[in-house]
Amino acid sequence: MAIVTISYQIGSGGRDIGQAAAERLSYSCVGSEMIVEAAHRYGLSEERLERLGEAKPPLLERLSRETRLYIAAIQSALYEFAAHDNTILLGRGGQWLLRDVPHVVRVRVIAPFEIRVERLAGRLSSEAGERTNAAAARAAALDLARRDDAEKSGRMRYLYEREIDDPRVYDLVLNTEKLSIDMAVDVVANVVSRSELSTTAAGRQVVADQVLASRVQVALAADPRTRAVRATVESHSGIVSITLTDAPTDIEAVVRGVDGVREVKVEQLEIPPIPPFVT
């Protein structure tokens, strides 16, 4: 059966839909906690993994080589969960990372802003009990919705140069203004059960290739000999192709150290010289 990625606006019910759909389909539902835990095996700070998994890094951190390692680790963990099949992936850019996988259904869950604020305010009031009033809960909900929307949108633009609400990134957009959780789950389950979206050997290979390429990116970002390298990495059946402008002498050794790599091809692009100034 298909892999499902669910990107959702806060207050839209996207997480609830993902969890309910996973139960209906007997799928695993993978949220931020599981992805962070999987990425944590690289010895990285769990707190920073959680922060970089939610929003784009501050300006100075974007220039950090360590930031590249953290992001590569999060992406690698997501790819590895996808390789298990029968999985629903919540957030973390799965809709873009897995765009080339034929058996992936990319879902976006939305709702009008005011409705989302109302839902969030109700949840905050319930959690706080008698310690808050309706006006304070609404103000907090309004701030939470604005911040979360901005952070998710900024992260998508920073990492993938795409708008998170661009419908072309998704196969299915669900508006929960009228759709209940059960109705939305019915739609997802019906789409996923279609034979056209069944996992094939070719589809599994696409995911396996992405898993290996992501592990190579982590290795390059983690190794002192190659952490400064900015490279395009592709993989096909254990053959890893790397394209970059400046190739360190140890890059092949680093890549060959990744489990599953059978062959390494390095293509070094030549930057054309700047033409002389003509008067």
Q: 84 or 20, which is more confident?
A: 20
**Binning pLDDT at 50, 70 and 90, where does residue 279 land?**
very low
> Where does residue 257 rank: exposed (0-12), middle (13-18), buried (19+ CB within 10 A)?
exposed
Alpha-carbon distance of 71 to 15, in angstroms, equals 22
Is pLDDT at 163 greater than 90 in this prediction? yes
Residue-wise pLDDT tens digits, 206-234:
999 999 999 999 999 999 988 888 889 99
* Distance (Å, whole) CA 93 – CA 163: 11
Residue 74 and residue 155 in one domain? yes
Residues 111 and 49 placed together within one structural domain of the fold: yes
What CATH number does residue 170 fall under?
3.40.50.300
Q: Identify whether 76 is part of a domain.
A: yes
User: For the chain, what is the domain count?
Assistant: 2
Q: Average pLDDT for residues 2-26, to the nearest whole number?
A: 96
Q: Assess whether 125 and 248 both reside in one domain.
A: no
Domain boundaries, position 188? 3-197
Q: Binning pLDDT at 50, 70 and 90, where does residue 124 land?
A: confident
Does the structure show a pLDDT above 70 at 36?
A: yes
Which tokens in the block code for residue 129? 């009990």
Same domain flag for 251 and 128: no
Residues in contact with 173: Cβ distance below 8 Å, sequence separation at least 6, in sequence order: 107, 108, 109, 110, 167
User: Are 184 and 227 contained in the same domain?
Assistant: no
- Of 43-47, 103-107, 135-139, least confident by mean pLDDT is 43-47
Structure-token pair, residue 240: 């890893």
Q: 197, 215, 232 — which closes off a domain?
A: 197
Mean per-residue pLDDT of the chain: 88
pTM of the model: 0.86
